[in-house]
Amino acid sequence: MSSNQDMNLVQHLGELRKRIIWVAVVLVVCMVAGFVIARPIINYLMGAAPADLSLHALSPWDSVRMYVNVAFIFALVISLPFTLYQIWAFVKPGLKPKEQKASLAYVPFAFLMVLVGLSFGYFVVFPLAFLFTSTITESLGLIETYGISQYFSFMFNILLPLAAIFQLPVVVMFLTKIKILNPNLLKKVRKFAYFILVVLGTLVTPPDAITALIVAVPMILLYEFSVLLSKRVYKKQLEMDRVWEEEYGEK
């Protein structure tokens, strides 16, 4: 490896280190803010439980753990746009001007899809999942006595995977942009993709047919939305390739 290549590698590692430090700093600041507003967030999230359900602290650390978990998740969500921007800024030198502008638009879109995924999980999936488990508990003649740690773990195990699944359109657009995917391929693997999405949806929901169906339908619509976005990106790529051929191709 030449000295110039060594220098470029060192510069890239230095740039990466700087980006990571900035992300860590912003994450810590957002986490501090999360601690400040953790209590109203916890109270709001507890509102998703039935009114007659009492939550308990089964360990001296449960309340502290809740503050830490809520503050950390709050920090992850709020700092996500900045984190995505830092990733974009790191790869920006390797992109063409048009690609830089197009990829930057992914940042707010990715953040929006996270919020949509969290909202869908909180307002739709979690109540159905909790209702299903409560029905099973009641059928066994058991008294529902939940610790606050178990309650929030159950909730976060639903919300966070759904927030990740809702990044599918962003991932598909990006992979289409770098020419790994295209709408034709997505259409060919549609049935296989449906199966995977339904499996992923059922993994974060109870084994209830109605709940699984309610979750599966948005997952399938999400995939079709991704196909439409991929088609749009792919069409622009073909147009750019055509213009390039006309300007720089053989005459």
pLDDT in tens, the chain (251 residues): 444 454 477 777 888 889 999 999 999 999 999 999 999 999 899 888 777 778 888 888 888 899 999 999 999 999 999 998 898 888 777 777 766 777 788 889 899 999 999 999 999 888 888 888 888 888 888 888 888 888 998 899 889 888 988 999 988 888 888 778 888 899 999 989 988 888 887 777 766 667 777 788 888 999 999 999 989 888 887 777 677 666 665 54
Consecutive H or E run containing 146: strand 146-147
DSSP state of 95: S
Are the C-beta atoms of residues 45 and 74 closer than 8 Å to each other?
Answer: no
Among 131, 180, 194, 186, CA closest to 158 = 131
Consecutive H or E run containing 64: helix 62-78
Among 163, 9, 147, 141, CA closest to 73 = 163
User: Bridge-partner residues for 146, per DSSP?
Assistant: 55
Which amino acid, 62? D
> Model-level pTM?
0.82
Q: Is 138 exposed, middle or buried (0-12, 13-18, 19+ CB in 10 A)?
A: exposed
Domain ranges of the chain: 1-95+143-164
